[in-house]
Amino acid sequence: MDLPVMLAAGLLFLLMFFAGLIGTRYRIPGVIIFILLGLALAPFLGDSELLHFIGEIGIVLLFFMLGMEFPLKQLMKVARKVTGAGTLDVLLNVGVTFLICWAFGLGWIEALLLGGVVYATSSSITAKLLETNKRMANPESEFILGLLIFEDLVAPVLVAIMVGMTAGVGLSGGDFAWLMFKVVALTAGAVLIGQLLFTKLQKFFERHLTSDVFIMFVVGMALAYGGLALYLDLSEVLGAFLAGIMIAEVRKTEQLEHLVVPVRDITLPLFFLWFGTTITFGDGVPMVPLLLTLIVWAITAKLIVGIVGGRMYGLSRKVALRAAFSLTQRGEFSIIIAALATAELMVFSSVFILATAMMGIILFQYAPKVANHFYPSKKKTKVKVPGV
């Protein structure tokens, strides 16, 4: 029996609420909870275009808000500070993963796509774990967040390249050059609009920020520039991130976040739910040897990035090791890139994401104990004074 859409939507949100409560109770990130819920509800929800579209709005707003955190000058400063660790991160997680997949017989497009899946640490999971474990004030947190920012800058471009590669049967040198030209043009357009227009709109924002309809303008900017990226056969994620950079020039990020967060929080979980509904295990998990190899490599690569990159950043050996064990969980970007894959690679990627996310949560919890084991704190010894 078909339920009215309104009733089905209400029941779905109630299920998500109770699932979210369970996740909060056991400190399981919502990303994992909603993917698992999507897996369970797949027979009932089917291939819902409406669910996908609303979920994409959540993804657009997520990256729009990330962009708002970085006015252009700050963006350049942060990027320079973690360039060494960030470059190592790209080389190991994208480059070496590509070589591993190619050695297992995958084509170069599939191999590069899996490199994208393996690449980025989950920003949402990591930030939530830092907060719930009360480690935000720890010295490694600045390095971890800086590396996440670097990944947030690289990953939208990576997604745009993946979209271009998966749009057709192949990508010639000329096609790749045209794709990069469109990425550069879209980015340059955002920088120019931000510098020439939005830097002069502070009074406009101050005058209308408290208006009930101003949310339409803000969300409209995110969706419009994201839509322009889609029109250019790029990723809406890149467009949304650039839209956030434009509006960041107004210097009203905190007030704008209060407007956008409620809309993001009600739409973003639907993307993860939709992703769960797309996973099928009818023929089992494909390429198990490659899957196990990539899980081991993905954890190893992030440990190397944390230890070596942390030392490059200026952390002590102990703090760098603690950071390394806090970086292995994958999440949002991996899901976004996996959604571009074929059905077989999507199943493969889904199992990889779930495995690394759960293992990453465990490693994060034990990071301080592991660091203390290898680098125990020196006990202070009392100096005895003769005659006392």
pLDDT tens digit sequence for 189-217: 998 999 999 989 988 998 988 888 999 99
- Residues across the chain: 388
Contact (CB, 8 A) for 121 and 327: yes
Boundaries of every domain in the chain: 49-279+286-374
Distances (CA, A) of 108 to 97, 123, 151, 288: 11, 27, 22, 19
Nearest to 123 by CA among 169, 79, 59, 168: 59
* pLDDT tens string 72-87: 777 677 677 788 999 9
Q: Token pair of 161, please?
A: 């390249």
Output the pLDDT for position 30. 80
Output the pLDDT for position 291. 95
- Name the CATH architecture for the domain at 49-279+286-374: Up-down Bundle (1.20)
Output the pLDDT for position 174. 73
Query: Where would I find the H helices in 167-278?
Result: 173-196, 202-208, 214-231, 236-248, 253-277
Output the pLDDT for position 52. 87
Output the pLDDT for position 168. 55
Q: Where does residue 253 rank: exposed (0-12), middle (13-18), buried (19+ CB within 10 A)?
A: middle
Q: Token pair of 92, please?
A: 């190991």
Output the pLDDT for position 169. 47
The list of the chain residues with pLDDT below 70 reads 1, 75, 78, 156, 164-173, 175-176, 281-283, 378-388
Nearest to 337 by CA among 44, 114, 172: 114
Collapsing DSSP to helix, strand or coil, 70 comes out as: coil
